Amino acid sequence: MIQSDERPIGIFDSGVGGLTVANAIRQVLPNERLIYFGDTIHLPYGDKSKETITGYSTRITRYLLEQDCKIIVVACNTASANAYETIIGEADNKASVVDVIDPVVKYVTSQNKYKRIGVIGTKSTINSGTYVSKIIAGNPHLSVTSVATPMLVPMIEEGFIFDDISNAIIRSYLSKPELDNIEALILGCTHYPIIKNQIKKFYNFQVDVIDSSLIVANALHAILEMNNLMNQPSGNQPQHRFLVSDFTEYFQAVSKLFFEEDIVLEKVNIFE
């Protein structure tokens, strides 16, 4: 008889962005129970110091471990770039840790069709140099360039999408010469899949726009399977929990864009 591990998967981000990853995980692993934590009281992470980001990420990881999570998904590029090793240390063999950078790096470096790759993300993610260094280490023949796009997260969080304002901001960033002649663009922030079609349209659908959500979900599936951590079908619908450190009505509304259905948010301030 195949062993079933019913413990939940813990997922965290600074806000709603990680719900794009959670939604992909739900689709790839429909039997798994999710506990999502959005640290809305501290968002955005992208303009904060490495030490501050690491402190928040460590506390959230500790909380998810207290909820008996069998694996922690760092569904935030900024936290993945700045706090990944510390999070692994905090997990300390109690749970595996999956970030949103390494699976994407593995994907792009295994492709033979790319020569020049662009990356966009928060200031903290881009300034860390994590994407560039890891991609070059995985395939030194690739040319990688990155651009910080700090206005995109607040733009999305405030609902400025699919309109002239968002199109103007996107055009301003993507027109930078550093991104000329790229063949693929990595969306180095889990908020950005919401505007993926606008980005594709800017490039006239001639550039591969790489969304980490499904890549991470598939990587997670492989890890669970390899380590015999899968929750087997039981006939019952898994009951997910969605937690935030601060609650606003707007956050409740915009979360539907990310998770593609209404969800109930619980406010839990673990930082007090």
Catalytic, 189? Answer yes
Q: For 102-212, CATH number?
A: 3.40.50.1860
Q: What pLDDT is attached to residue 160?
A: 84
pTM of the model: 0.92
Which residue in 189, 199, 207, 216 is the catalytic one? 189
Q: What pLDDT is attached to residue 132?
A: 96
With the C-alpha atoms ordered 185, 191, 197, 198, is the resulting torsion angle positive or negative? negative
At residue 138, the 3 state secondary structure works out as helix
Which residue in 76, 179, 220, 243 is the catalytic one? 76
Per-residue pLDDT of the chain (272 residues; tens, 9 = 90+): 567 889 999 999 998 889 999 999 999 999 999 999 999 999 889 889 999 999 999 999 999 999 999 999 999 999 999 999 999 999 988 999 999 999 999 999 998 899 999 999 999 999 999 999 999 999 999 999 999 999 998 888 777 888 899 999 999 999 999 999 999 999 999 989 989 999 999 999 999 999 999 999 999 999 999 999 999 887 778 899 999 999 877 777 777 777 777 888 999 989 97
Q: What pLDDT is attached to residue 2?
A: 66
Are residues 65 and 94 in contact, defined by beta-carbon separation less than 8 angstroms? Answer: yes
Angle between helices 102-109 and 212-226 (to 10 degrees): 100
CA 17 to chain CA mean position, Å? 7
Domain boundaries, the chain: 9-99+214-267, 102-212
Catalytic, 69? Answer no
The CATH architecture of the domain made up of 9-99+214-267 is 3-Layer(aba) Sandwich (3.40)
What is the Cα–Cα distance from 224 to 165, expressed in whole angstroms? Answer: 42
